[in-house]
Amino acid sequence: MKLRVLGILSVLVLLLVLLVSNVILSSAGREVTQQLQINRAASLNRIAQLAYDAANDGDSTVLRRDMETYSGLYSEGLVVRLQTGTLASGGLDPERPDVREALGRASLNLADTTLDPVRPFGTGNEVISRSFGSASQVLGEVVMEVNLDAARDKLRYRWLVTAIAAIALAAVLLLLAGRVTGWVLRPVQRLGAAVREFKDTGHTPPLPEAGPPELRELSRSFTDMATTLGELIDSQRQLIADTSHHLRNPIGALRLRVDLLLLELRNEKERAAGAGVLAELERVEEILDSVLRLAVAEHRVIEDSAGASPEVSEGPGSGSVNAFVVLAEEVDRARPAALAAGSDLVLTTQEDPGAELACSRIELAQMLGELLNNAIKYAPGAQITASVRTRGSATLIEIADTGPGLEPEQLAAATTRFWRAPEHSSIRGTGMGMTIVDRLATANGGRLVLAPNEPNGLRARIEFDAAPTLPGQGEAS
């Protein structure tokens, strides 16, 4: 943004400098031309007066001497045509076409003492002319060759001075434009960075109050807003965690009372009703547990966005872990449940499965356990394959099943809180398992990718790239 604004200001500055320089140079050219014209017109009038005197006296000695003196002093030729003959000095040829034309105009009593504007890089000389005589009779004509070299040198010097001044002025104005642009846009850039940081982390440090008064007020307002929203987000997150935690005790007590009540029930109808109450109570416990784990996962995403390392946030469960070892442990842990559901759980890998990840071991195990449990729960009797492989610099951990899978439009909604596929409504669950895996994967620099498994089923893959990636950028393959 700064470069765009500075580019526009630079163009305007250069146009302004060129405009001012053009006005100054045009004025200088007119001034030099006017000075030369006034000077030469005065000299022409003086020679014309001497020629008039010579025509009346019949003696051109003084005229000839003054003509030679003038030509030697200014290196400019003169031609004076009298009724008795033509006088020339400075090597000016009376038969030269422009001189002959000037003499013809002067003989008609048409004075021509106007010079064309002097150009700094032009060539050649000009001639001016006038007649002399009485009011009723033209006695002769005077033609003067005007040497423009000295005027051109003077004008070139002025051009050089003006060019140097224009370059200096442009440099100063560009420097000022850069300073002003930085002064105005720096608060805007800080505000943009703070907005992005707040979007990613939910927190942002107070913005310095700099720049124009309007931007200082905007920075103060944003800081106040960010502080308030950050406190609300923290309060909401803490409320969820505290609620989930503190409800455990009364729910535990309620479960104990229900268990005692079940012991007192005598007939099948009463025991069935009590079992229903117990099932709903267990569902509440499961939801609370999922909410608490989701709150922790989302908090980890915030920590990761804010730059906190897993070692700092997780302690002993963090660091470099072997993905295959963790996956093998989770497969062994889930195998009994898979056998009970009639599923065939298989662990496959490449020749070298030892992909080391900068990831929390506890959270990686939690993610893999959740994916395995989902496959066992929603694909009973299916073939479930767990694998670790590498693709370039990326490490891919995949759980694939041959169950019913999800429709393409359902894959995008699978990581939404409390979302469950309509066909799974009869299966016990909270709808937060994939959400937790997605958040934890993001917190550890990975991403969750859900895709169909050919010819049928679901393939859930956690990708860990060499560089951290944003959530939701996975591709189905």
Residues contacting residue 297 through CB under 8 Å, at least 6 positions apart: 363, 435, 436, 439, 440, 443
Tokens of 116: 């064309």
pLDDT at 2: 67
Amino acid at 376: I
Rounded to an integer, the average pLDDT of 37-44 is 92
Of the two residues 476 and 215, the one the predictor is more confident about is 215
pLDDT at 314: 42
Over the range 15-40, which residues count as b (16 or more CB within 10 Å of their CB) and which as e?
Answer: eebeeebeebbeebbeebbeebbeeb
d(C-alpha 70, C-alpha 469), whole Å: 89
Least confidently predicted of 147-151, 247-251, 314-318 = 314-318
Helix ranges, 341-423 (H): 361-378, 408-413
Q: Which residue has the tokens 């990761």?
A: 304
d(C-alpha 273, C-alpha 227), whole Å: 50
pLDDT at 123: 85
d(C-alpha 194, C-alpha 188), whole Å: 10
pLDDT at 80: 93
157 sits in which H/E element: helix 149-201
* Distances in whole angstroms, Cα of residue 430 to Cα of each of 71, 285, 291, 297, 418: 112, 10, 9, 16, 6
Burial class (CB in 10 A: 0-12, 13-18, 19+), 282: middle
* Distances in whole angstroms, Cα of residue 53 to Cα of each of 56, 391, 420: 5, 109, 121
Q: Rank 47-51, 402-406, 430-434, 466-470 by mean pLDDT and report only the highest.
A: 47-51
d(C-alpha 34, C-alpha 312), whole Å: 83
Question: Residue 76: left (phi > 0), alpha (psi -120 to 50), or beta?
Answer: beta
CA atoms within 13 A on the CB side of 59: 4
Give this prediction's pTM.
0.48
Nearest to 92 by CA among 112, 78, 73: 78
Query: Which value, in Å, is the radius of gyration of the alpha carbons in the chain?
Result: 49
pLDDT at 243: 74
Question: Residue 194: left (phi > 0), alpha (psi -120 to 50), or beta?
Answer: alpha
Residue pair 437/420 in contact by the 8 Å Cβ criterion: no
pLDDT digits (tens, 9 = 90+) for 277-314: 887 777 777 777 777 777 766 666 655 554 444 443 44
pLDDT digits (tens, 9 = 90+) for 142-167: 999 999 988 989 999 999 999 999 99
pLDDT at 474: 39
* Distances in whole angstroms, Cα of residue 461 to Cα of each of 292, 295, 426, 434, 458: 24, 22, 26, 11, 10
Domains of the chain, first to last: 2-155 (3.30.450.20), 310-464 (3.30.565.10)
Mean of the per-residue pLDDT values of the chain: 82
Count CB-CB contacts under 10 A for residue 374.
20
**Chain centre to alpha carbon of residue 278:** 59
pLDDT digits (tens, 9 = 90+) for 391-434: 877 888 999 999 888 888 888 888 887 788 877 777 777 777 88
